[in-house]
Structure 1
Amino acid sequence: MDDSSAPVRFGLVGYGFGGRFFHAPLLAAAPGVDFLGVVTTSPERRAQATAEHPGTTTFDSLEALRDAGAEAVAISTPANTHSPLTDRALDLGLAVVCDKPFALDPTAALASVERAEAAGLPLSPYQNRRWDSDFLTVQRLVADGALGELRSFESRFERLAPENGPGAAGGGTLLDFGSHLVDQALVLLGPVSTVSAHWSVRDSGLDDDVLVVLEHTGGARSVLGGSWRQGAPGPRFRVTGSTGSYVVGGIDGQEDHLVAGSSPATLGEEWGEEPESAWGAVYRGSPDGEPVRTERGRWDVFYPAFADAVRGRGPVPVPARDAVATAVVLDAARRSATEGTVVSL
């Protein structure tokens, strides 16, 4: 039977915050996807999953999910389980989307990528923030030449939650926030020549405040900050070129919509739209900026694109080897912060 036009039967592993809010609603709303259910052994999370997504099933294992007819799986579990679960899913013949951090180190990341390539299976890191409204706006401005020759990219995820973050499941701020920050920097500015980093580490062993400086081979610089103890968060982006700087505060609103119970299915064409009050501006040396309409955020395109890749109709939304490049930079940042050195790549 030809199933080239049939929806891809998709499962989800994990129903913590990430699985519940960043994956399940987007899988359920995605054209070309048949959301089968969730792998979790927690009675509470099993009850949540079936209540919030009627018609889905809960499973005890990847094997049970595969036996139910799944063709693909999204993995949203604690960071230290990502590589073992990715590899196990690939061995079961499943296409895989793995949440960040894709792996704890470059060696594990490369091993998973080579495993998928050998098996001929689609594999993609879940870098949904490539489709943040503000990052899409940055890319548009750069492509249009609105800032001139790009010289620096400042990017931050900063919050004040000294008691609650970072969670152990994310592996620390560098791996958690840094996975997105570094990925966006590499997308925008390309390969890196040197990495310098500083961090603060709690008694738990988890870093909760990190600063990473990347010198790109093209001559531009990225300054990336992640913090759980910043009472005055800086701009989300300040992107400077030879003729101007784009500054935008706040953070893309798609996460808030998902946590509030909305999704692309409920908001339709309003999904990802940012209010004018959240728009950024381009500055050219004066205090008065030129307001810039923010692009529509499009997290909703990831899973339809991955489903097309499973059916052989296109590439995965984020190449798996991009996750290796990100892991290399993150590992260099860890070494720099630990040893007090600048690491050359």
Structure 2
Amino acid sequence: MASKTYNVGIIGYGLSAKIFHIPFINAVPEFRLYAVVQRNPKPEDDAEKDHPGIKSYRSTEEMVKDAGVDVVVVTTTPETHLALAKLALEAGKHVIVEKPFTPTHQEADELAELSKKQNRLISVYQNRRWDADYVTLSKLVKNGSLGRVTEFETHFDRHRPEMPTTGSWKTKPTPGSSAIYDLGTHLIDQVVHLLGLPKRITGFIGSQREKNDSGYEDSFTLLLHYGQTLATVKTTVISPEEKQLRFWVRGDKGSFKKYHLDIQEEQLKASVRPGGDGYGKEPSDRYGVLTSYKDGALTSEVVATVEPPTYVDYYRRFAKALAGGGDVPVSASEASDVIRLIELAKESSRLGKTLDV
């Protein structure tokens, strides 16, 4: 029997929708791009022209009344996520919410409860669980190549000392903005997905730019305490390096050091799409190095980055969950845990002390 096709309606038509969602919706046979909410189409930026045959709406209220919509994807700014996801759930739609899920964990929990009440699925788009470098590192941790992990460093560093001139939400101090909500949700989610929740947290959050009158917090360093394991989660905008460190994970049997970000975002922005030649495959000059300790000696080898399932797998898993074939790829409760850690990190930074989780 042929699998059911689910009609997808997207709220918002910015970079998130165009680059991180629509290509993967189109790559999974169980989904069909059905509608887009775009408030102010322009001749050079019109979802209906870009995707002939879809329905174009000017408001979410209009779209969720459409009985043809099965799944709603929320790609708008973080402070709007709660209200828009509620509208969709209350209209009987399944929902995917772009990260950061919500500005507060109470809002995240509210959406989790509402989805249960409505008997509808909700999931958060933590797509970087399917980064090739993270999948490679996870394999090394789980197969014992590093032994007992003692230090786990994860970075998303860049050298951007000047404040961006664009009016993006990512440069304004609004609820759910700042680097820790933008990039930090990815890094924290990966650590918690692999190591679980920490016992304590220490946060250092602020701005490293010399000229920044906006109040936007552009950098952070978090210490996640796991007993004998310490995870350092870091983003800085002052990092003049040709190769940015991504992972450095050390254990009693080995160490893994990796530079460069996963290639998928770079490819997507260059119009390379899932299924295209080389999509998601990292070139060999970006491979990481595994140093092993055995019989009192150290040896190093280049480790090929695995060919990842890619971000397509997020939508594949969501399709299976809709068909009753498993859990959603990222649950609301998991995303709520990440937001709670961000709140604790902000409080830790404000108080200047380590807090229990």
Partner letter of residue 199 of structure 2?
A: S
CA separation of 1:197/1:263 partners in 2, compared to 1, >3 Å: closer, same or farther? same
CA RMSD of aligned residues (A): 2.1
Aligned equivalent of 2:149 = 150
Aligned pair 1:223/2:228, yes or no? no
Q: Measure, in 2, the Cα distance between the counterparts of 1:171 and 1:316.
A: 25
- The answer to whether the 8 A contact 1:16-1:45 is kept is no
Please list the CA deviations of residues 104-135 of structure 1 after superposition, one character each: whole Å capped at 9, or x if unmatched. 01111111111111111111110100000000
Secondary structure of residue in 2 paired with 1:175: helix
- The answer to whether the 8 A contact 1:27-1:35 is kept is yes
Q: 143-152 or 50-59, which moves further after superposition?
A: 50-59
User: Which of 282, 285, 302 is the matching residue for 1:277?
Assistant: 285
Secondary structure of residue in 2 paired with 1:43: coil
TM alignment of 1:87-106, pairs within 5 A? 87-106=86-105
TM alignment of 1:67-146, pairs within 5 A? 67=66, 69-146=68-145
Aligned equivalent of 1:248 = 258
Please list the CA deviations of residues 265-298 of structure 1 after superposition, one character each: whole Å capped at 9, or x if unmatched. 434xx32111111110112478973111101231
CA separation of 1:17/1:119 partners in 2, compared to 1, >3 Å: closer, same or farther? same
CA separation of 1:311/1:65 partners in 2, compared to 1, >3 Å: closer, same or farther? farther
Q: 122-131 or 157-166, which moves further after superposition?
A: 157-166
Structure 2 unaligned residues grouped into runs of 5+: none
User: Offset at 1:7?
Assistant: 1.1
TM alignment of 1:322-337, pairs within 5 A? 322-337=334-349
Q: Measure, in 2, the Cα distance between the counterparts of 1:143 and 1:288.
A: 20
Where is the helix percentage greater, Structure 1 or Structure 2?
1
Aligned equivalent of 2:331 = 319
Instruction: State TM-score, norm by structure 2.
Output: 0.89
Aligned equivalent of 1:290 = 301
Q: Measure, in 2, the Cα distance between the counterparts of 1:248 and 1:196.
A: 24
Instruction: State TM-score, norm by structure 1.
Output: 0.92
Q: Measure, in 2, the Cα distance between the counterparts of 1:259 and 1:299.
A: 14
Q: 281-290 or 65-74, which moves further after superposition?
A: 281-290
Aligned equivalent of 1:237 = 247
- The answer to whether the 8 A contact 1:173-1:226 is kept is yes
User: Offset at 1:191?
Assistant: 1.4
Q: Measure, in 2, the Cα distance between the counterparts of 1:56 and 1:229.
A: 43
Q: Measure, in 2, the Cα distance between the counterparts of 1:4 and 1:105.
A: 41
CA separation of 1:68/1:260 partners in 2, compared to 1, >3 Å: closer, same or farther? farther
Q: Measure, in 2, the Cα distance between the counterparts of 1:287 and 1:226.
A: 30
Partner letter of residue 126 of structure 1?
A: Y
